[in-house]
Each structure stands twice: as structure tokens, then as C-alpha cells.
Chains A and B, each alone.
Chain A
Amino acid sequence: MKTPMRMREKIVLRVVAQACIPFILLFALYVQFHGDFGPGGGFQAGVICAAGFILYGLIFGLDKLKKVVSFRTIEILVAAGLLLYGAVGLLTIGMGGNYLDYKVLDHHDPTHGLHYGILFVELGVGITVTAAMLAIFYAFAGRERA
């Protein structure tokens, strides 16, 4: 992709992106972990988080982004999120409930169990979505012009 090379020379873009990226990532974390109280959740947080990384990649180039998040990491994270989701289900079976029956996760208060279940399941969704979006961006941006 040629555009990042040219964009790197634009100082305004660079400075504004540097200022924005931490807030985008922080907002993604907020959306991720506040999803059960406000709008949002794993899907939205994953996309916002990926957008932060993609902005970095657009401004500073794919090579620098690959130093931050390597291709191998993304391959692992795509699977890790889904496995985390599935593992929560297996854990609830192990603790004497049905698959994805979060109530058994906390012996004292089933409401807390539900909250834990939602938290980890949404985290799994968020990880997979972030990695999947980044994988698609890497695949597109890494191609040479035909």
C-alpha cells in the first residue's frame, strides 16, 4: 500500500493521530468492560480497538504496525478469543451447570456468576473481533498493486 508512505510525511496527520490513538484504545476498553451497563460490548469494542491500530498503520505504515502487533500474534488472538468463549462454557460444566450457564461461576451469589460469565464471554468476543479486523486489514494493506 503506497498511501502510508506519503501520509507519513504529513506532520498534522501524524501529530493528531498520536494524540487520538490512546483515547481510541481507552474508549475501546471502556466500551468493552462497561458494556453491561451502557451501550456496547465485545463486538463494538473489538472494532474500535482495531480502528485504533489501523489508524496507526495508516499513518505510520504497515511495517511499524507489524512491530507493534505481529502477524503471528494476530493469528493466535483470532483463535484465543473464540477459545476463551468456549472455555467459559466448559468451565460452567465443570462447576456443575449447563454449557454457558454462568450462574454456577459464583457459589455465593448467582448474579455475580452471571456478571463474570458475561465479562469473560464479551472479552472473548472482543479479542476475536479485534484480531479478525486487524487480520483483514493486514491482508488488504499488505497486497501489492496488481
Chain B
Amino acid sequence: MPFPIEALLFLFLLATAVVIARLRDLFAAAMLTGMFSLLSAGLFTLMDAVDVAFTEAAVGAGIATVLMLGTLALTEKRENQQPTRTLPFVVVLLTGAALIYGTLDMPPYGSPGTGPEPAAGNAVIHHHVAPDYIKGTKEEFKLPNVVTAVLASYRGYDTLGETAVIFTAAIGVLLLLVPGRKRKSEDESAAPEDPR
């Protein structure tokens, strides 16, 4: 049996994660998180989820790394020496074990889900609305990218909500992190008692 490239990528992911956890140099850690995202993007590409891979590469490897570097410029470059604690390690191990236990019920990777009823080996998710979406994208939309059709039309309300979330996040960041503008001084000179 040939060694699957997915396994290789997972090995690299694991190695990167362990190194990030052990590093004290925060600059190197920030760069390695970018590498972690890029490896994840490679995995998503192998799973034929190119849109997700695209987002992961652009957001995780690109913007997030830049923001972390921006934060590093405001703080220290090195992490302070922390005493080794066993409780968090145990909690992480238990959570990981629970997650792996949860995946045991999932259909096998690459399962086509062609069977008539949800049974072991049939991906139930493929029997819900997905066949209609795939058929509709081809016949009604005449578009090759199902993801765009689902995102912008079939699930248009959800995407509107997501855009609103991004909008809210940006407004929140602006309100919290950007210091007051000069309009404040104009207000003060015009009216000493601000009604807001």
C-alpha cells in the first residue's frame, strides 16, 4: 500500500503543533502557526475542499500571521518561563480522546454515501439537501462551482448573517482599539455637556 500524502501532511501538522507548544520564541511561533495553516490548506485541497483551503491559506497563513506579528511588535518577543503544570495536559489529553472517540461514529473518509439508508459507511449528510443543490447548481444556475451557489443563493440568508458578523467584528475592533478622533475636541468646544 502506498504511503498516503495525507498521512505525511498530518505528521507535519503534528510536528508543527508540538514545536509551537514548546517554543519560547514568540516570533518563531507566530511564523510556525502560519505554516500550520498552510499545511491545513494542503490537507483541505487533498479533500477537494478548495474553497475552504483558499480561505485557510489566505486568512490563517496570511492575515492571522500578520496580525500576530503586529501584536508581537507591541509586546515581548519571548514568552516568560512558565512552571510545567500537569492538569492542563491531562485536560487536553482527555478532550483529544473524546474528540477521537466522537469520530468513530462518522462515515469513513471518502465514503460516497450511495446507499439507500443511513448505515455505517454511508455519509448521511449526502442524503439531505446536497443532491438537490448539486443538481440545481448544474441545471438552474448553470454554474460549475456548487460552493458559490450554496453560499450566495441557497444559503443566502446565512451569508448575509456572516457578513453582518464580520461587520460587527470590525465595528467592535474600531470602537475598542482605535483611540478617539479629533471630532471629540470639536464637540467639547461646541457643547461642554455631551448628551451621549
A140 B177 Cβ-Cβ under 8 A: yes
B163 CB to nearest chain A CB (Å): 5
Chain B residues contacting A97 (CB-CB under 8 Å) are: none
Residue in B50, B54, B74 whose Cβ sees the most chain A Cβ within 10 Å? B54
- Pair B70/A100 contact, Cβ less than 8 Å: no
Interface string of B37-77 (1 = CB under 8 A from A): 00000000000001101110011001100110111011100
Stretch of B7-15, B112-120, B168-176 at the chain-chain interface: B168-176
Q: Determine the distance from Cα of A81 to Cα of B63 in the docked complex, in whole angstroms.
A: 20
Q: Is the CB of A121 within 8 A of B159?
A: yes
Interface size on B, residues (CB 8 A): 46
**Using a Cβ–Cβ cut-off of 8 Å, how many residues does chain A contribute to the interface with B?**
58
B152 touches A39 (CB 8 A): no
Whether A142 touches B73, Cβ cut-off 8 Å, given contacts A82-B164, A131-B170, is no
In B156-183, which residues have CB < 8 Å from any A CB? 156-157, 159-160, 162-164, 166-167, 169-171, 173-174, 176-178
> Known pairs A40-B54, A125-B163. 19 more at Cβ < 8 A?
A1-B70, A3-B69, A38-B144, A40-B51, A41-B148, A79-B167, A81-B163, A99-B157, A111-B142, A114-B141, A118-B149, A124-B163, A136-B173, A137-B66, A139-B173, A139-B178, A140-B67, A140-B70, A145-B74
